[in-house]
Amino acid sequence: MRVGKNARLVARQCVAALATALLLAAPARAADPDPSDWPAVLDAAKGQTVYFNAWGGSQNINDYIGWVADTVKDRFGVTLQHVKLDDTANAVAAVVAEKAAGKDTGGSVDLVWINGENFVSMQEQGLLAEGFATALPNWEFVDIDNPSVTTDFTVPTEGQESPWGGAKMVFFADTARSGAIAEMPQDTDALLEWAKAHPGQFSYPAPPDFIGSSFLKQVLIEQAPDAAVLQEAATDANFAEATAPLWAWLDAIRPVLWREGRDYPQNYPAMKQLLGDGELGIIFAFNPSEASAGIAAGELPDTVRSFTFPGGTLGNSHFVAIPYNSSAKAGAMVVADFLISPEAQLRKEDPAYWGDPTVLAMDRLAAADRAAFAAIDRGVATLPPSGLGPVLPEPHASWMTRIEDEWKRRYGG
């Protein structure tokens, strides 16, 4: 049956009216809180529960997050729930699944401890809230001259992450068995020679363990023909040439590794135990205070000391980010802001609580705060910040995925 012109017009008007009615009836998606209007953020945050997805494998870190939770509850009325992860990728997967299901509000992850490949993945997939970090009140104290607080594995953070701690690769040796720290290797070439002279006394965790993968990046940066290419995305064209010296180095060291490279420590705690038991002579960590913490806990002998390479060792910052569909964005901003306060950063850098390097610039702090940081008892085996040496920047995140796959093919079978 044909429909007349007037009838079709009436039909279109009815459909338009129905669509308008449905739009008006649908719940409006609330605008993200504006951190430049901080009083409004504080007001909106009161009574919110923030589900903070963060690694839960360390008691001192769990205790620190517990202290943060108590503090933000008392001061701001925000309830912080630590969702303990064994892999940050699990939190990313949860947000991916929610987006696929169309759950663009009321998400299960409100704040996530993140950096590196996971950040790049979330940013590329549109899984993060709009930039907020640089508008937080405590941002004024952040060391913005450190490029690792505004880029993550070479990718600009665009304010979508707020830094809350630093990391720097540091080596540890038992001077009672391995010799004076002044005699320790000064770069990866010297480390290879040391390992040949001390067979079985060195190893590294098998990738994709974070510490093991970080060590491979240290070797890669030092051995690559042109380290500048590592700041670009890895491609089929540049990968083979840039990584050839890495595989040559690993091939050369493998016969003199612990257990001749037939087995690898599972992670840093496993390496630490091997150093304590006298099986390894040199180990490494991404936290400069780990040796002192191990001594204090009775896990390492008090003759262990720290050293770094004069030419630099790998370093980065780690961050917190807010997923795009967080149900408590205001509360998450309040927590992120507290994490970069001088008070929270001071406690975080203190080895009695965590020992994680601060992301704050000392010259931006009040005199009393500077004095408090200077007075931290870092422990007998911890290098002062001035002794950590230059920071080697992380390669682009795409390099590590390819390197881990190739390492597994070559050495993981």
- What is the rounded CA–CA span in Å between residue 256 and residue 233? 33
* pLDDT of res. 142: 97
CATH topology of domain 170-307+392-411: D-Maltodextrin-Binding Protein; domain 2 (3.40.190)
Residue 252 Cα to chain centre, angstroms:
31
**DSSP assignment letter at 183:** G
Instruction: Answer for the pair 402, 396: CB distance below 8 angstroms, yes or no.
Output: no
Buried b (16+ CB within 10 A) or exposed e, 252-280: ebeebbbeebeebbeebbbbbbbbbeeeb
* pLDDT of res. 30: 55
* pLDDT of res. 413: 63
Helices (H) and strands (E) in the chain, counts: 15, 11
Residue 360's φ and ψ, nearest 5 degrees, are -90, 155
Note if the pTM is more than 0.85: no
Tokens for 336, please give them.
């992120």
Q: Is the dihedral of CA 57, 61, 67, 73 positive or negative?
A: negative
Residues facing 315 on adjacent strands: 168
Instruction: Answer for the pair 288, 166: CB distance below 8 angstroms, yes or no.
Output: no
Residue-wise pLDDT for 211-254, tens only, equals 999 999 999 999 999 999 999 999 999 999 999 999 999 999 99
CATH topology of domain 38-165+317-380: D-Maltodextrin-Binding Protein; domain 2 (3.40.190)
- What is the rounded CA–CA span in Å between residue 75 and residue 288? 31
Q: What is the DSSP string of 2-56?
A: ---HHHHHHHHHHHHHHHHHHHHHSPPPPPPP-TTSHHHHHHHHTT-EEEEEEE-
Tokens for 79, please give them.
């309830």
Intrachain domains 38-165+317-380 and 170-307+392-411 with the same fold: yes
**DSSP assignment letter at 328:** -
- What is the rounded CA–CA span in Å between residue 108 and residue 328? 10
Selection from 167, 170, 166, 168 nearest residue 305 by Cα: 170
Q: Is the dihedral of CA 170, 176, 181, 184 positive or negative?
A: negative
* pLDDT of res. 14: 39
- What is the rounded CA–CA span in Å between residue 381 and residue 296? 10
- What is the rounded CA–CA span in Å between residue 329 and residue 44? 9
- What is the rounded CA–CA span in Å between residue 406 and residue 236? 13
Residue 298 neighbours by CB distance under 10 Å: 9
Give me the residue spans of the domains in the chain.
38-165+317-380, 170-307+392-411
Q: In the chain, which stretches have pLDDT less than 50?
A: 1-29
Residue 75's φ and ψ, nearest 5 degrees, are -90, -35
